[in-house]
């Protein structure tokens, strides 16, 4: 039963760390850019879109497709940074915890 008690204690610690990590991620912002910085997007640490900045030179009607492509590229850049940051925070949150099988490949709902 001692093992079960330790597992429950670890589960409670993990839950507390995960809640702290989620709050921290929500407060963080990550910027992605494309077109040499002509298009920038900011995402929260949880991946929510917060801001889009577009260089005025891209507002011309004949630049529509370029602008659309740059928006997609800037979002992809920011999303990759968010995912890397989430992985780093997850590693910190689970540091020192003996989790059978680890968390490799675990996708969390945020």
**Per-residue pLDDT at 26 exceeds 70:** yes
CB neighbour burial string for 43-52, b if at least 16 within 10 angstroms, e if fewer? bbbeeeeeee
> For the chain, what is the mean pLDDT?
85
**Per-residue pLDDT at 98 exceeds 80:** no
Domain ranges of the chain: 2-93
**Range 2-93: architecture per CATH:** 2-Layer Sandwich (3.30)
DSSP output for 31-75: EEEETTTTEEEEEETTS-EEEEEE-GGGGSGGGHHHHHHHHHHHH
pLDDT at 40: 98
pLDDT at 19: 87
**Per-residue pLDDT at 33 exceeds 70:** yes
Kindly report the backbone phi and psi dihedral angles of residue 45, in degrees, each rounded to the nearest multiple of 5, phi listed first: -65, -10
**Per-residue pLDDT at 106 exceeds 80:** no
pLDDT tens-digit readout, 58-96: 999 899 999 999 999 999 999 999 999 988 888 887 776
pLDDT at 100: 53
pLDDT tens-digit readout, 35-49: 999 999 999 988 999
């Amino acid at each position: 039963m001692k093992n079960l008690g330790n597992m429950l204690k670890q589960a409670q610690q993990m839950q507390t760390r995960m809640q702290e990590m989620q709050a921290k991620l929500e407060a963080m912002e990550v910027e992605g850019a494309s077109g040499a910085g002509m298009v920038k997007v900011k995402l929260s640490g949880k991946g929510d879109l917060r801001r889009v900045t577009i260089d005025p030179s891209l507002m011309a009607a004949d630049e529509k497709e370029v602008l659309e492509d740059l928006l997609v590229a800037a979002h992809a850049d920011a999303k990759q940074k968010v995912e890397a940051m989430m992985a780093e925070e997850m590693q910190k949150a689970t540091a020192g915890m003996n989790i059978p099988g680890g968390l490799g490949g675990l996708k969390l709902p945020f």
